[in-house]
Homo-oligomer: A and B are copies of this chain.
Amino acid sequence: MKMSDGVEWAVHCCTFLAALPNESALSGARLSEFFALPKDYLAKHLQALSRAGLVETSKGPKGGYRLARPPAEISLLDVVEAIDGKNPCFQCTEIRRQGPSGQPDRHYKKPCGIAAAMWKAESVWRKELKKVDLGSLVHEAELNVSTLQQESAYDWLCKALG
């Protein structure tokens, strides 16, 4: 029950993309440089974001990634699911139907109570992640991150965008 490291990277990258000026794109190489992450492996995850339709890409010089929708319309859940998949954490294999006292399928009309409880918990987790969007994450960062780092990041960004 461990989340892929890629999720953390993807969320940070998306939040950063959400913070930069409209219509400007940032390449995978620049993103990996900013967070000091392995370039190729990060690219793999950015690919997943692209496939999921969260970011748009443009090739060639001055190309790169940019959010496909306004930050307020991309939730944390979207990013998590793009990287980690939409499969439920808990998968019911219906072991209650097996064994010596198992019965034919027609006797199981209600879903397994254990699975139901698990899925309920998973549902509230998803709902909580859906509440958070990239816009609010950026806003939160602007409030809580030291001005020193904000300025430093801004300088770096200007150099990166040319």
Residues of A participating in the B interface, judged by any CB pair closer than 8 Å: 1-5, 7-9, 11-12, 15, 33-37, 76, 84-85, 87, 89-93, 95-96, 98-103, 107-108, 110, 113-115, 117-118, 120-122, 124-126, 128-129, 132, 137, 140-141, 144-146, 148-149, 152-153, 155-156
Q: How far is the CB of A24 from chain B (nearest CB, A)?
A: 17
Q: Are A37 and B95 in contact (CB under 8 A)?
A: yes
Interface of A is mostly: helix
- Residue contacts A-B, CB under 8 angstroms, 6 given: A1-B87, A2-B89, A12-B95, A35-B96, A76-B121, A101-B155
Taken together, the copies of this chain in the complex come to 2
Q: Are B84 and A11 in contact (CB under 8 A)?
A: no
Residues of B within 8 A of A141 (CB): 113
Residue of B nearest to A79 (CB): B114
Residue of B nearest to A160 (CB): B100
Q: How far is the CB of A89 from chain B (nearest CB, A)?
A: 5
Residues of B within 8 A of A115 (CB): 8
Q: Are B100 and A117 in contact (CB under 8 A)?
A: no
The 10 closest A-B pairs by CB, nearest first: A101-B152, A121-B128, A125-B125, A36-B98, A113-B140, A101-B153, A36-B99, A110-B144, A1-B84, A107-B146
